[in-house]
């Protein structure tokens, strides 16, 4: 049987990973820039109320989306060898589940509108059912492209999707009307276009539905991933639900903008890299030393690139928010600052999913998701009486409390131990927090002009973080590797 459509390319794994990181990284830069531009442009075109209405709908879409994939895309990527029959079976499972969930979403729409006391939410949720079906049709094609490490094609698709989504939203505000439907037009475009591209770029086409032997293990693995996603939903969306229900759409809109401007882009740093790292680490699962080395080379590079920027953003939040979003969003600054502390830890913790999945520990992944969900829910409830700022503050505290337990739990099995993470991440985490403290003290002495204040904070933050990291052997090694990634003019000339 010709299994070439399902197998990674021949050749050096390191070369494939390197190319994938570069392609994914470049795409992510464009994607994050587009997302930030979207926040800026659409925040000026639409009102906080519009964003609040969409934010009320978002948890419903996210909850329904938990079940449509059932972890089957990760199962396709992680499995050592897979056949056409298995992929075909999983494709039809994805389609059937997505269609059923779309119908459920139509039925839930009026109930959610009644829950919020906002009739405009109902039609919006009903319209979002189209996105569910679109994703189900492309899930296995996306999985196969990831499995084959077609990172260049995936990068182009992601960039095209992000740009098209923003263009559709802006065009709606100009041509049709300035309302929350413009945001829906953008997300719908970003759902349909990638599915069409996955089909066009994948060499695989489904056949008639047919059950095959051996899919039980795939379904069990996917169940663990779904269990984590189900628990993680509450950790990521219960805050929106509670704020919207008890404080209204304006307070929720302020919280949503602060979250989208900071934590959402941060999550998008680790998530795309997982498309590269999960297939690579899965192939190294039987070689503990290479597995450990691969993870500890990539993760610290991500920290040194992003942590100082987050620290700088936290320090000058009162400058960034009005400058980027406009004066009407100034109340989001304190919320942004509180979420920024959580962001410092999430850069470290989000890649933990690579380890759980590549080691086949989907059940452990689900258990940790339950711990995160319960502790986050407690944090949201504790902070809720103090509004969106209270929710953000207590959530950040909970992130600090959970982090040591996460890495101790991961280190119980597999090639990576908690002490490995302390040595690898410690210099940069310590450096970023020291940089934040220094910036806090230096804040009154930064330039008055917003652009110079932000630039000065960024330069100081990166300088302090690098200086602290240089005090540690692992920090020096990571910084040398980061410098080696930079192009050198002399070497090109030779």
Give the pLDDT band of residue 460 (cuts 50, 70, 90): very high
Phi/psi region, residue 313 (left: phi>0; alpha: psi -120 to 50; beta: rest), is alpha
Q: Is residue 321 a contact partner of residue 327, using CB atoms and an 8 Å limit? A: no
pLDDT of 1 reads: 37
| Distance separating alpha carbons of residues 194 and 192, to the nearest angstrom | 6
| Buried residues in 365-393 as b, exposed as e (16+ CB within 10 A) | bbbbbbebbebbbebbebbbeebbbbbbb
- Residue 8 CA to residue 145 CA, distance in Å, equals 9
Taking residues 5-22, what's their average pLDDT? 62
| Per-residue confidence (pLDDT) for residue 7, from 0 to 100 | 63
Q: Rounded mean pLDDT of 334-348?
A: 91
pLDDT per residue over 47-95, tens digit each?
A: 778 888 888 887 788 778 777 777 777 777 776 677 787 788 888 888 8
Span 109-130, average pLDDT: 87
Q: Decide if pLDDT at 300 tops 60.
A: yes
Q: Is the pLDDT of residue 123 over 70?
A: yes
Q: Which two tokens stand for residue 64?
A: 């329904």
Confidence band (pLDDT; 50, 70, 90) for 472?
Answer: very high
User: Residue 494: its pLDDT value, please?
Assistant: 40
| Alpha carbon separation from 492 to 49, 226, 481 (Å, rounded) | 54, 48, 18
- Kindly state the helix (H) or strand (E) to which residue 174 belongs, with its residue range: helix 151-175
pLDDT surpassing 60 at residue 485:
no
- Provide the percentage of residues in the chain whose pLDDT is more than 70: 90
Q: What is the spatial distance between Cα 87 and Cα 93, in angstroms, rounded to a whole number? A: 10
pLDDT band at 278 (very low <50, low <70, confident <90, very high): confident
Cα separation, 147 vs 154, whole angstroms: 11
pTM: 0.72
């Amino acid at each position: 049987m010709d299994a070439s459509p399902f197998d990674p390319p021949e050749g050096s794994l390191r070369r494939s990973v390197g190319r994938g990181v570069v392609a994914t990284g470049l795409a992510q830069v464009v994607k994050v820039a587009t997302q930030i531009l979207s926040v800026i442009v659409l925040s000026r075109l639409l009102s906080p109320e519009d964003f609040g209405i969409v934010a009320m709908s978002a948890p419903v879409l996210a909850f329904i989306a938990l079940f449509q994939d059932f972890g089957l895309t990760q199962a396709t990527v992680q499995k050592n060898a897979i056949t056409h029959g298995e992929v075909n079976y999983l494709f039809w499972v994805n389609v059937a589940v997505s269609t059923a969930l779309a119908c459920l979403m139509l039925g839930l729409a009026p109930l959610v509108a009644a829950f919020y006391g906002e009739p405009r939410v109902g039609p919006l949720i009903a319209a979002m059912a189209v996105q569910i079906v679109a994703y189900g049709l492309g899930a296995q094609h996306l999985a196969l492209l990831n499995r084959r490490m077609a990172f260049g094609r995936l990068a182009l698709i992601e960039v095209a999707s992000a740009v098209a989504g923003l263009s559709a939203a802006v065009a709606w505000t100009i041509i049709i009307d300035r309302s929350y439907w413009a945001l829906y037009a953008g997300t719908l475009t970003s759902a349909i276009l990638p599915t069409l591209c996955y089909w066009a770029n994948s060499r695989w086409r489904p056949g008639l539905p047919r059950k095959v032997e051996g899919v039980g293990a795939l379904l069990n693995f996917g169940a663990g991933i779904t269990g984590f996603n189900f628990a993680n939903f509450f950790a990521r969306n219960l805050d929106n639900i509670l704020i919207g229900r008890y404080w209204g759409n304006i307070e929720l809109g302020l919280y949503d903008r602060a979250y989208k401007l900071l934590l959402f882009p941060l999550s998008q740093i680790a998530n795309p890299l997982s498309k590269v790292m999960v297939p690579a680490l899965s192939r190294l699962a039987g070689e503990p030393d290479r597995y450990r080395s691969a993870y500890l080379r990539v993760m610290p590079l991500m920290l040194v690139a992003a942590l100082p920027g987050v620290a700088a953003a936290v320090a000058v939040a009162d400058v960034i928010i009005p400058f980027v979003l406009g004066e009407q969003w100034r109340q989001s600054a304190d919320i942004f600052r509180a979420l920024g502390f959580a962001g410092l830890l999430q850069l470290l913790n989000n890649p933990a999913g690579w380890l759980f999945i590549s080691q086949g520990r989907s059940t452990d992944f689900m258990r940790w998701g339950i711990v995160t969900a319960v502790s986050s829910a407690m944090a949201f409830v504790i902070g809720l009486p103090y509004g969106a700022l209270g929710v953000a503050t207590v959530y950040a505290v909970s992130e600090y409390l959970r982090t040591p337990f996460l890495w101790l739990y991961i280190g119980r099995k597999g090639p990576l131990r908690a002490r490995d993470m302390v040595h690898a991440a410690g210099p940069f985490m310590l450096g970023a927090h020291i940089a934040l403290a220094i910036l806090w003290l230096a804040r009154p002495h930064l330039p008055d002009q917003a652009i110079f204040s932000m630039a000065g904070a960024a330069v100081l933050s990166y300088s302090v973080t690098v200086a602290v990291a240089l005090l540690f052997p692992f920090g020096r090694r990571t910084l040398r590797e980061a410098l080696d990634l930079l192009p050198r003019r002399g070497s090109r000339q030779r």
